[in-house]
Amino acid sequence: MVHVRKDEIILNNIITAQALGKSYGGFRALKGISFNIKEGECFGFLGHNGAGKSTTMRMIYGLSTVDEGTLSMFGQKIILTPPEIKSKLGIVPQEDNLDPDLTVIENLEVYGALFGLDGSKLRERSKELLISMGLQDKENSSVESLSGGLKRRLVIARALINAPKIVVLDEPTTGLDPQARHLVWQKLRSLKSIGVTLILTTHYMEEAMQICDRLVVMHEGEILAEGSPRELIARCVLPYVIELHMPADSVPSDLREKVEKANGEILQVADGIFLYCENGQLLWEKLKDWGIPQHACLLRPSNLEDVFLKLTGKGEEE
């Protein structure tokens, strides 16, 4: 980490991908994507099912080879992530891969032993991690007896046993209840505060907003946009949105013209119509003149979900 000014810190790239591609048979799952992940940041990958997020994660954590383009980690060009780099990684795969024959704490200890940890140090660390994931009461339970969300939390705890420098989290909070999700966010923030680099995929826009310093939006093997959550919102969508949730036949047929005339943008989503504008209040006032009942509408500031809908929706139309 190089300090240049009090208010500006330049972070080194810890992972660099250039024109990274992957094909399965004749199908091109990743179409040559490029990104840099900086040391100590949380870098997110958003995208629909099948966008190529896990394919990218698997190449980073060494479950899949780099066949096209380049991937560098810690300044070293990788074809298949070597053991000395793997030992610096914490891995939360999308699919839980716990050992069902072991207890909760044994899962941590057996995994820790792979990194040369043992004895009281390993036991202490395992217990600390169980506490941080709210699993202290499950220490001696069998893995099979855990609910889906508890298993997920154990996978996250296990990923941290070797005090990794980079943690790769492929949908870490899918299936977690809101409290557990906050617990995970708290842990991720505390890891970031000690300089750990986080790489996260998620379908939860709030999670990306809360945790990610920068992120990319992927679609069908390509990167559509990159930036901080705030930058993306400012760059990709107008600042306010009015959501219309009403039957299609009660929406004025010339709504698009009306909205565009008012310098707004209109987006059809599955369960309604979203109107984007510079001045939410001004457009809100026009709704009545347009015959749209305000009780069927919601005015709110635009967020990352709007960015996602706009970018990936456009991708689908094209």
Ligand X SMILES: Nc1ncnc2c1ncn2[C@@H]1O[C@H](COP(=O)(O)OP(=O)(O)OP(=O)(O)O)[C@@H](O)[C@H]1O
Q: Which residues of this protein are in contact with Mg ion, per CB under 5 A?
A: 53-54, 94
Per CB under 6 A, which region of 6-14, 48-56, 104-112, 282-290 contacts ligand X? 48-56
CA distance 151 to 118: 23
Among 21, 40, 47, 264, binds ligand X (CB under 6 A): 47
Report the partner that residue 167 touches, choosing among Mg ion, ligand X, none (CB closer than 5 to 8 A by kind): none
The only residue of 13, 16, 29, 269 in contact with ligand X, by rule CB under 6 A: 29
Contact between 78 and 52 (Cβ < 8 Å): no
Looking at residue 48, what DSSP letter applies?
S
Smaller CB distance to ligand X: residue 69 or 272? 69
Closest to ligand X by CB, 197 vs 312, is 312
Q: Which does 120 bind (CB under 5 to 8 A by kind): ligand X, Mg ion, none?
A: none
Q: Give residues with Cβ within 8 angstroms of 49, minimum separation 6.
A: none
Q: Can you tell me which of 38, 55, 73, 157 binds ligand X, judged by CB under 6 A?
A: 55
- Least distance to ligand X, CB of residue 275, Å: 29
| The pair of three-digit structure tokens given for residue 299, joined into one six-digit string | 């005015």
Minimum gap (Å) between residue 54 Cβ and Mg ion: 3
Q: Where are the beta strands (DSSP E) in the chain?
A: 2-5, 8-10, 13-24, 27-38, 42-47, 68-73, 76-78, 89-92, 166-170, 197-201, 214-219, 222-227, 240-244, 265-269, 272-277, 297-301
- Any contact of residue 54 with ligand X (CB under 6 A)? yes
Residue 170: CB minimum distance to Mg ion, A: 6
Asked if 88 contacts 74 with a C-beta cutoff of 8 angstroms, the reply is yes
CB of 68 to ligand X, least distance (A): 14
Residues in contact with ligand X, total (CB under 6 A)? 11
- Which residue of 12, 18, 19, 50 would you call a contact of ligand X, by CB under 6 A? 50
CA–CA separation, 149 and 152 (whole Å)? 5
Tell whether residue 107 is a contact of ligand X (CB under 6 A).
no
> For residues 47, 49, 53 and 57, what is the CA-based torsion angle, rounded to 10 degrees?
150
Residue 93 engages ligand X in binding (rule: CB under 6 A): no
Least Cβ distance, residue 49 to Mg ion (angstroms): 7
Does residue 53 touch ligand X according to CB under 6 A?
Answer: yes
Within 10 Å of residue 249's Cβ, how many Cβ atoms? 6
Q: Which stretch binds ligand X (CB under 6 A): 46-54, 161-169, 256-264, 304-312?
A: 46-54
Per CB under 6 A, 52 contacts ligand X:
yes
Which residues, including other chains, have CB under 8 Å from residue 229's CB and lie 6 or more apart?
Answer: 208, 209, 212, 215, 304
3-class SS letters over 103-124 = EHHHHHHHHHHHCCCCHHHHHH
By the criterion CB under 6 A, which residues form the site for ligand X? 24, 29, 47, 49-55, 94
